[in-house]
Structure 1
Amino acid sequence: MDDSPVRDPKVLREDMIRALREQDGIRSQSVAAAFAAVPRHLFAPDVPAELAYNLHRTVPVKKDENGLDISVMSAAHLQAVMLEQLEVEPGMKVLEIGSNGVNAAYLQELVGPYGEVTTVDIDPDVIGPARLHLDATGYSQVKTVVADGESGVPGGPYDRIIVTVAAWDIPPSWIGALTEKGRLVVPLTVRGTTRSIALDRDGDGLTSRSYGLAHFVPMQGEGAAQERKVMLRDGVALQTDDVRVPLNTQALNGALDTSRLERWSGAAYDLPDELDLYLTLNLSSVARLHADPAVIDSGIIEPSARFGVPALVSDDSFAYRTRRENADTGGFESGVIAHGPNAEALADEYVNVLRRWADNHRRRGAATFRYLPGPAPSPLPQDTVLRRHGIVTVTWA
Structure 2
Amino acid sequence: MTDAWDAHYADGNTFSPLRDAERALLAEHVPAPDGGGHALDVGCGLGELARHLAELGYEVDAVDFAPAALTHARAQNAAAAATAAVNYHLLDIERDSLDALPHPAYDLITFRLSWAFVHDRTRVMNRLRERLRPGGVVCVITPVAADVPDGKRSIALDDEEFGALCAGWARAERYDADGLAFVVLRDPAPAASTFTGKKRPSPHALTGAGVVVTDEVGRILLGWSVRGVWELPGGKNDADEGFLAAGVRELAEETGLKADAGGARLLALLMDSTHGIPRLTGAVRVTAWTGQPNVTEPQLIHRWEWHEVADLPALSQPLFTPSAQVIDTVWPGLLPDLPPVHRYPITPAATPEPAQQAAEAAELREAMTDRLVADGWVDAGGAIDAAFRRVPRHRFLPGTALPDAYDTHQAPVTKRTPGATVTSSVSAPWVQAAMLRDAALRPGDTVLEIGSGGYNAALVQEVVGPHGSVTSIDIDPYVTDRARRFLDDTGHHQVRVHLGDGEHAPVQLAAPDSLDAILVTVEARDLPPSWTAQLADGGRLVVPLRVHGYTWSIPFTKRAGLLTADTYTVCGFVPLQGPGHREDAVTRLRGGEVTVRFADGTPVDTSRLDDALALPRVEHWTGITIPGETPFDMLLLWLATHLDGFARLAVPADHDPNIRTTPGGWDAAAVVRNDSLARLLTRKLPEDGTPLWEFGIHAYGPHADDLAQAMAHQVIAWDREARDTITPRLTVSSAQEAAPTASAAPDEDPAVITKQHVRLTFDWSAASPPRDHGGRAGQDS
Q: Aligned residue for 2:472?
A: 119
1:291, 1:105 → 2: CA distance? 41
In structure 2, what residue type is equivalent to 1:20? L
Q: Aligned residue for 1:93?
A: 446
Q: Is structure 2 residue 730 aligned with structure 1 residue 389?
A: no
1:62-121 deviation per Cα after TM superposition (whole angstroms, max 9, x unaligned): 112321101111111111111111111111000000010000000000000110000000
Q: Aligned residue for 1:309?
A: 668
Asked whether the equivalents of residues 104 and 142 of structure 1 are also in contact (C-alpha less than 8 Å), the reply is yes
The Cα of 1:232 is off from its aligned counterpart by 2.1
Q: Aligned residue for 2:510?
A: 155
- Structure 1 pair 312/329, CA: closer, same or farther in 2 (3 Å)? farther
Equivalent position SS for 1:55: coil
| Alignment of structure 1 residues 19-30 onto 2, 5 Å | 19-27=371-379, 29-30=382-383
The Cα of 1:306 is off from its aligned counterpart by 2.9
Asked whether the equivalents of residues 653 and 663 of structure 2 are also in contact (C-alpha less than 8 Å), the reply is no
Q: Aligned residue for 1:295?
A: 655
2:404, 2:443 → 1: CA distance? 30
The Cα of 1:31 is off from its aligned counterpart by 1.1
The Cα of 1:208 is off from its aligned counterpart by 0.5
The Cα of 1:329 is off from its aligned counterpart by 12
Asked whether the equivalents of residues 365 and 389 of structure 2 are also in contact (C-alpha less than 8 Å), the reply is yes
2:718, 2:505 → 1: CA distance? 38
| Alignment of structure 1 residues 77-88 onto 2, 5 Å | 77-88=430-441
Q: Aligned residue for 2:368?
A: 16
1:247, 1:14 → 2: CA distance? 54
1:125, 1:14 → 2: CA distance? 30
Asked whether the equivalents of residues 304 and 321 of structure 1 are also in contact (C-alpha less than 8 Å), the reply is no
Q: Aligned residue for 1:284?
A: 644
- TM-score, structure 1 normalization: 0.92
In structure 1, what residue type is equivalent to 2:642? N
2:383, 2:610 → 1: CA distance? 52
Larger deviation, residues 330-339 vs 110-119: 330-339
1:165, 1:12 → 2: CA distance? 27
Match of 2:522 among 165, 168, 171: 165
1:226, 1:247 → 2: CA distance? 18
2:725, 2:571 → 1: CA distance? 15
| Alignment of structure 1 residues 158-237 onto 2, 5 Å | 158-233=515-590, 234-237=592-595
1:295, 1:24 → 2: CA distance? 40
1:191-215 deviation per Cα after TM superposition (whole angstroms, max 9, x unaligned): 1111100000021210104211110
Runs of 4+ residues over 4 Å off in structure 1: 325-330
The Cα of 1:328 is off from its aligned counterpart by 12
2:423, 2:666 → 1: CA distance? 19
- Structure 1 pair 345/356, CA: closer, same or farther in 2 (3 Å)? same
2:532, 2:663 → 1: CA distance? 37
Asked whether the equivalents of residues 276 and 309 of structure 1 are also in contact (C-alpha less than 8 Å), the reply is no
1:339-361 deviation per Cα after TM superposition (whole angstroms, max 9, x unaligned): 12221121011011111100100
1:254-302 deviation per Cα after TM superposition (whole angstroms, max 9, x unaligned): 3333221111223233532121221122221111112232237x45313
Asked whether the equivalents of residues 245 and 313 of structure 1 are also in contact (C-alpha less than 8 Å), the reply is no
Asked whether the equivalents of residues 601 and 754 of structure 2 are also in contact (C-alpha less than 8 Å), the reply is no
Q: Aligned residue for 1:240?
A: 598
In structure 2, what residue type is equivalent to 1:133? F
2:568, 2:379 → 1: CA distance? 15
Larger deviation, residues 376-385 vs 144-153: 376-385
Structure 2 segments unaligned to the other structure (5+ residues): 1-356, 768-781
The Cα of 1:25 is off from its aligned counterpart by 2.2
2:401, 2:713 → 1: CA distance? 49
Q: Aligned residue for 1:3?
A: none
1:229-260 deviation per Cα after TM superposition (whole angstroms, max 9, x unaligned): 233245532211235222526x3233333221
Asked whether the equivalents of residues 285 and 313 of structure 1 are also in contact (C-alpha less than 8 Å), the reply is yes
Q: Is structure 2 residue 712 aligned with structure 1 residue 351?
A: yes
Structure 1 segments unaligned to the other structure (5+ residues): 1-5
Asked whether the equivalents of residues 684 and 693 of structure 2 are also in contact (C-alpha less than 8 Å), the reply is yes
2:717, 2:587 → 1: CA distance? 30
1:59, 1:265 → 2: CA distance? 40
Equivalent position SS for 1:293: coil
Larger deviation, residues 368-377 vs 284-293: 368-377
2:418, 2:674 → 1: CA distance? 34
1:352, 1:333 → 2: CA distance? 14
1:247, 1:53 → 2: CA distance? 47
Look at both structures and tell me which one has the larger radius of gyration over its CA atoms.
2
- TM-score, structure 2 normalization: 0.48
The Cα of 1:369 is off from its aligned counterpart by 1.0
The Cα of 1:366 is off from its aligned counterpart by 1.7
Q: Aligned residue for 2:346?
A: none
Match of 1:34 among 362, 365, 387: 387
Q: Aligned residue for 2:462?
A: 109
Q: Aligned residue for 2:702?
A: 341
Asked whether the equivalents of residues 413 and 424 of structure 2 are also in contact (C-alpha less than 8 Å), the reply is yes
2:420, 2:745 → 1: CA distance? 42
**What percent of counterpart residues are identical?**
35
Asked whether the equivalents of residues 211 and 365 of structure 1 are also in contact (C-alpha less than 8 Å), the reply is no
In structure 2, what residue type is equivalent to 1:22? A
Asked whether the equivalents of residues 289 and 309 of structure 1 are also in contact (C-alpha less than 8 Å), the reply is yes
| Alignment of structure 1 residues 42-61 onto 2, 5 Å | 42-61=395-414
Larger deviation, residues 232-241 vs 359-368: 232-241
In structure 1, what residue type is equivalent to 2:398? P
Larger deviation, residues 381-390 vs 17-26: 17-26
| Alignment of structure 1 residues 123-142 onto 2, 5 Å | 123-142=476-495
In structure 2, what residue type is equivalent to 1:186? V
1:64, 1:280 → 2: CA distance? 32
1:254, 1:139 → 2: CA distance? 60
Equivalent position SS for 2:654: helix
2:662, 2:684 → 1: CA distance? 14
1:5-61 deviation per Cα after TM superposition (whole angstroms, max 9, x unaligned): x99211211121121122222235221111101000000112212221121121111
Match of 1:379 among 745, 752, 763: 745
In structure 2, what residue type is equivalent to 1:313? V
- Structure 1 pair 268/9, CA: closer, same or farther in 2 (3 Å)? same
2:399, 2:549 → 1: CA distance? 32
- Structure 1 pair 305/248, CA: closer, same or farther in 2 (3 Å)? farther
- Kindly indicate whether structure 1 or structure 2 has the higher relative contact order, using CA contacts under 8 Å at least 6 residues apart: 1
Equivalent position SS for 1:210: coil
Match of 2:623 among 266, 270, 289: 266
The Cα of 1:333 is off from its aligned counterpart by 2.6
In structure 1, what residue type is equivalent to 2:597? Q
Larger deviation, residues 17-26 vs 376-385: 376-385
In structure 2, what residue type is equivalent to 1:379? A
